[in-house]
Chain A
Amino acid sequence: MIFFRVLHAEMLKLKRTLAFRMVFVAPVLVVTLIFFILYEKKEFKPDFDLWDAVLKIALNFWAVFMMPLLITLETALLSGLEHGEKQWKHILALPVTRKSVYLVKLLTVHMLILISMTLLIVLAICVGLVFIKIRPALANTGMPPWGWILKHSAYVWLASWLIMAIHTWISVRWASFAVTLGAGIAGTFFALFAASAKLGKFYPWLLPVNVFMDGRLKMALLIGIIGGIVATVLGCWDFVRRDVA
């Protein structure tokens, strides 16, 4: 099937790329930050919930800042592979459908983000376990809340469908790295201002972090998933009908 052939080829293209390395770098940065925040904390109250602190900081920071930037970077780098030496004209002159080429690009971004997020959770749990060992006050901490972790990781991922679809379209449509990065950085930083506004619950770059806010979860998932599907269909439609320079 054409789709799997294109996906198989895409996996090989990732070899030795910055796009693949960033999947590991991004969660390590977040977890390092958490480690130092906790390390500076010398006293822990009896009701201190280690897992709540570690995982909430990790996922919140991930959702509001690191993931949108990582999505921006990954989409720019993945499309950059084809823009670099105008590979589009080679790929699209092969017996493959344009639809499959576009959808594979998007799916690859999803896969890389999921791998990165899984690594973030694993590393965050490791940090928690390290503190249980080195801080006697935390010795009685129980097991990580697996259900909460799974549920909220899935929410963050689902709510990010829209920004992944938007960034995939932008990066495929414009060859310039500056356009893609500019859109991502602008989107992420405007989120800081949009967060306090009422309309913030509709802002695409805030959707992943909205899943942690009271009363915003359903809207975040609804806009993330439906908006993501609509943006994917529109991006794909544009790619299929566009001239290849």
Chain B
Amino acid sequence: MQKIAIETSGLTRRFGTQLAVNEVNLQVPEAAVYGFLGPNGAGKTTTIRMLLGLIRPNAGEVKLFGESFADNRLKLLQRVGALVETPSLYPHLTGRENLEVTRRLLGAKRELIDRALGIVKLTADAHRRVREYSLGMRQRLSLALALLNNPDLLILDEPANGLDPAGIHEMRDLIRRLASEFGITIFLSSHLLSEVEQVANHIGIIHQGKLLFQGTLAELQAERHEHLTVGVTQPDQAAKCLTAAGWQVQRGEDGLLNVAATTREAAASINSLLVGQRLDVFHIAQAQASLEDIFLNLTNNSAEQEAAR
């Protein structure tokens, strides 16, 4: 049976009347890279803060490695490294001194500092004060702090936030390396699907505090549906015509029509129908919904359902 690193049941948190996290049931397998996705304000950071005991849930429970977090906080945090939102560093201290502060708090061995600096490639800059560091270096140093106690679970909240493309690339490589070389379970939150799908093998999608999807990346990709995209000079007229003929049609943002059909025969008959109506067809192609589309569909559907209540 697969071991579970993070398990939450009915995790709920309110801020006044606002329900920030609504009965979230997470299942993060050990050694997985779990991408926790959601738009800004979806409840990602609140969930992460509850996983780390920074805020208390109104209802529900957190279990790490099969043990209740509430009953074993200190013991479980020995196995966890975390980077929550922005880097939390002491700018007046050097990189090495920042690590030393955390090492003392952990009661860890001194050698671990060099190891952590090596992993994030900051050994050469460790003597410099943090106020002289670039944002990318600060983010890497924060990751080194999270790695210092040789954790089994790494919780990273928007680690690419504020980084330039080179910094994002560097961070992505680092996360991949941590998972493959050290076998650490990584729980990674982001609002960028494109970022997460490049490193994660498990995905959870949260929106308005509710977990809308949870599964492997392959399971999410299986939700992709193929369709035909049709380009017509008179799209409104064409949509009416196709709908009247029994096809399911959606207007795409690019002006093309998305028709729920996949075969060549379907493409040919749609073409004949439109041409027969004297509509000018300039494009017909098979297409697949991107993960971005699935993500947007899930979050938009959820928003519509919420509005309908």
B168 CB within 8 Å of chain A: no
Given that A93-B80, A244-B54 are contacting pairs, would A17 and B104 also be in contact in the complex, using a CB cutoff of 8 Å?
A: no
Interface residues on A, range: 20 to 34
Q: Do residues B86 and A244 form an inter-chain contact, with CB atoms below 8 A? A: no
Contacts of B102 in A (CB 8 A): 9, 90, 94
B97 CB within 8 Å of chain A: yes
> Chain A contact residues: over half helix, strand or loop, or mixed?
loop
Q: How far is the CA of A14 from the CA of B234 in the complex (A)?
A: 71
Closest residue of chain A to B155, judged by CB?
Answer: A93
A95 CB within 8 Å of chain B: yes
Given that A6-B105, A92-B54, A93-B82 are contacting pairs, would A12 and B100 also be in contact in the complex, using a CB cutoff of 8 Å?
A: yes
Name the distance in Å between B185's Cβ and chain A's nearest Cβ: 16
B90 CB within 8 Å of chain A: yes
Given that A94-B106, A243-B54, A244-B49 are contacting pairs, would A89 and B88 also be in contact in the complex, using a CB cutoff of 8 Å?
A: yes
Q: Do residues A8 and B104 form an inter-chain contact, with CB atoms below 8 A? A: yes
Given that A85-B89, A243-B55 are contacting pairs, would A95 and B78 also be in contact in the complex, using a CB cutoff of 8 Å?
A: yes
B92 CB within 8 Å of chain A: yes
Which of B85, B87, B93, B107 sits near A12, CB closer than 8 Å? B93
Q: Do residues B55 and A5 form an inter-chain contact, with CB atoms below 8 A? A: no
A81 CB within 8 Å of chain B: yes
Q: How far is the CA of A154 from the CA of B214 in the complex (A)?
A: 62
B118 CB within 8 Å of chain A: no
B77 CB within 8 Å of chain A: yes
Closest residue of chain A to B142, judged by CB?
Answer: A90
B289 CB within 8 Å of chain A: no
Q: How far is the CA of A243 from the CA of B57 in the complex (A)?
A: 10
A144 CB within 8 Å of chain B: no
Q: Do residues B53 and A97 form an inter-chain contact, with CB atoms below 8 A? A: no
Q: Do residues B105 and A89 form an inter-chain contact, with CB atoms below 8 A? A: no
Q: How far is the CA of A94 from the CA of B92 in the complex (A)?
A: 21
Contacts of A243 in B (CB 8 A): 49, 54-56
Q: Do residues A94 and B54 form an inter-chain contact, with CB atoms below 8 A? A: no
Which of B55, B91, B105, B145 sits near A84, CB closer than 8 Å? B91
Chain A residues 83-117 with CB under 8 Å of chain B are 84-97
Contacts of B53 in A (CB 8 A): 92-93
Name the distance in Å between A88's Cβ and chain B's nearest Cβ: 8
Closest residue of chain A to B87, judged by CB?
Answer: A85
Q: Do residues B84 and A16 form an inter-chain contact, with CB atoms below 8 A? A: no
B52 CB within 8 Å of chain A: yes
Given that A244-B49, A244-B55 are contacting pairs, would A94 and B88 also be in contact in the complex, using a CB cutoff of 8 Å?
A: no
Chain A residues 1-22 with CB under 8 Å of chain B are 2, 5-6, 8-9, 12-13, 15-17
Contacts of B77 in A (CB 8 A): 93-95
The 10 closest A-B pairs by CB, nearest first: A90-B88, A9-B104, A95-B77, A244-B54, A243-B55, A93-B52, A87-B88, A8-B104, A95-B74, A93-B82
Q: A86-B86, A89-B84, A93-B80 are in contact. List 9 more A-B contacts (CB 8 A).
A: A5-B104, A5-B105, A9-B105, A12-B100, A13-B101, A87-B89, A88-B88, A96-B74, A244-B55
Give 8 pairs: A residue, B residue, CB < 8 Å, sorted on A: A13-B93, A15-B92, A84-B91, A85-B90, A87-B89, A88-B88, A89-B54, A93-B54
